[in-house]
Structure 1
Amino acid sequence: MADQIPDAPSASDETELRALRDQIDAIDQQLQTLINQRASCAQQVAEVKQRFNQALPAVFYRPEREAQVLRRVMERNTGPLPDQAMARLFREVMSVCLALEQPLSVAYPGPEGGYAEQAVRKHFGLSVRGAAMTDAEQALKAVEQGHCHYAVTPIESAHEGLVSHTLDLFRRYDLRICGEVELLLDPADDKTLAADTRYLVLGKQYVEPSGHDKTSILLSVKDQPGVLHDVLGAFRQRDISLTRLESRTVHQGGDAYSLFYIDFEGHQEDAPVMDLLSELDRGPDTLKVLGSYPRAVL
Structure 2
Amino acid sequence: MTDNENSGPNTQEQKELAALRDKIDGIDTQIGELISSRAQCAQDVAEIKQRYSGDEAPNFYRPEREAQVLRKAMERNQGPLHDEEYARLFREIMSACLALENPIKVAYLGPEGTYTQQAALKHFGQSAHTVSMSAIDEVFREVASGAAHYGVVPVENSTEGVVTHTLDNFLASSVKICGEVVLRIHHHFLVSDVTHVSNITRVYSHAQSLSQCRKWLDGHFPNAERIAVNSNSEAARRLKGEWNAAAIAGEIAADLYDLTSYAQNIEDQPDNSTRFLIIGSEDVGPSNDDKTSLVVSTRNEPGALHGLLEPFHRHGIDLTRVETRPSSTGTWNYVFFIDFAGHVTDSVVQAALKDVEKNVSDLKILGSYPKGVL
TM-score range, shorter chain: over 0.9
How many Å separate the matches in 2 of 1:22 and 1:167?
Answer: 55
Query: In the alignment, does 2:171 pair up with 1:152?
Result: no
| Pairing 1:95-106 to 2, within 5 Å after superposition | 95-106=95-106
How far off is 1:192 after superposition?
Answer: 4.4
Q: Cα distance, 1:226 vs. partner?
A: 2.2
Contact residue 115 and residue 196 of structure 1 kept, 8 A:
no
Q: Secondary structure at the match of 1:256?
A: coil
Counterpart for residue 138 of structure 2? 138
Q: Does 1:223 align with 2:300?
A: yes
Specify the code of the residue in structure 2 equivalent to 1:227.
A
Residue 145 of structure 1: how far off its partner (Å): 1.1
Alignment of 1:24 onto 2:24: yes
Query: 2:368 — aligned with what?
Result: 292
Question: 1:208 and 1:216 mapped to 2: Cα distance?
Answer: 14
Counterparts of 1:223 and 1:241, CA distance in 2: 25
| Correspondences of 1:1-298 after superposition (within 5 Å) | 10-186=10-186, 190-193=209-212, 197-252=274-329, 254=330, 256-282=332-358, 285-298=361-374
Structure 1 residue matching 2:345: 3-state secondary structure:
coil
Equivalent position SS for 1:38: helix
Mean Cα deviation higher: 268-277 or 123-132: 268-277
After TM superposition, give the deviation of residue 196 of structure 1 in Å: 6.8
The separation in 2 between residues aligned to 1:249 and 1:131, in whole angstroms, is: 31
CA deviation string 1:104-151 (max 9, x = no partner): 000011110101100100000000000000101101101111111000
How much has 1:10 moved relative to structure 2? 1.8
Cα distance in structure 2, aligned partners of 1:266 and 1:99:
30
Deviations 1:162-183 (A, max 9, x none): 1111111000110110000100
Counterpart for residue 264 of structure 2: none
Give the secondary structure class of the aligned counterpart of 2:68.
helix
| Distance in structure 2 (CA, Å) of the matches to 1:295 and 1:203 | 16
Alpha-carbon offset, residue 186 of structure 1: 2.9
2: CA distance between counterparts of 1:245 and 1:226?
A: 17
CA contact (8 A) 1:154 1:196 kept: no
C-alpha displacement at 1:256, in angstroms?
A: 3.4
Q: Name the SS of the counterpart of 2:181 in structure 1.
A: strand
Give unmatched runs, 5+ long, in structure 2: 1-6, 190-208, 214-271
Q: Single out whichever of 217-226 and 80-89 deviates more from structure 2.
A: 217-226
Q: 1:161: Cα distance to partner? A: 1.1
TM-score (norm 2): 0.75
Cα deviation, residue 283, structure 1: 5.8
**CA deviation after TM superposition for structure 1 residue 257, in Å:** 2.1
Letter in 2 for 1:266: G
List per-residue Cα deviations over 1:70-98 (Å, max 9, x = no partner): 00000111111111110000000000000
Mark the structure with the bigger radius of gyration.
Answer: 2
Q: Counterparts of 2:150 and 2:212 in 1: how far apart (Å)? A: 27
Distance 1:15 1:209 in 2: 53
Amino acid at match of 2:164: S
Q: What fraction of aligned residue pairs are identical, expressed as a percent?
A: 48
TM-score (ref. length: structure 1): 0.93
What runs of 5+ residues in structure 1 fail to find an aligned partner? 1-6
**CA-atom RMSD, angstroms?**
1.8
SS of residue in 1 equivalent to 2:302? coil
Q: Which moved more, 1:180-189 or 1:83-92?
A: 180-189
Q: Secondary structure at the match of 1:90?
A: helix
1:249, CA displacement in angstroms?
3.3
What SS does the aligned partner of 1:215 have? Answer: strand
- Counterparts of 1:262 and 1:223, CA distance in 2: 18
Q: Which runs of 4+ in 1 moved over 6 A?
A: none
**Residue-by-residue CA offset, 1:243-297 (whole Å, 9 max, x unaligned):** 1111133252x46322110000000000011112222233651101000000000
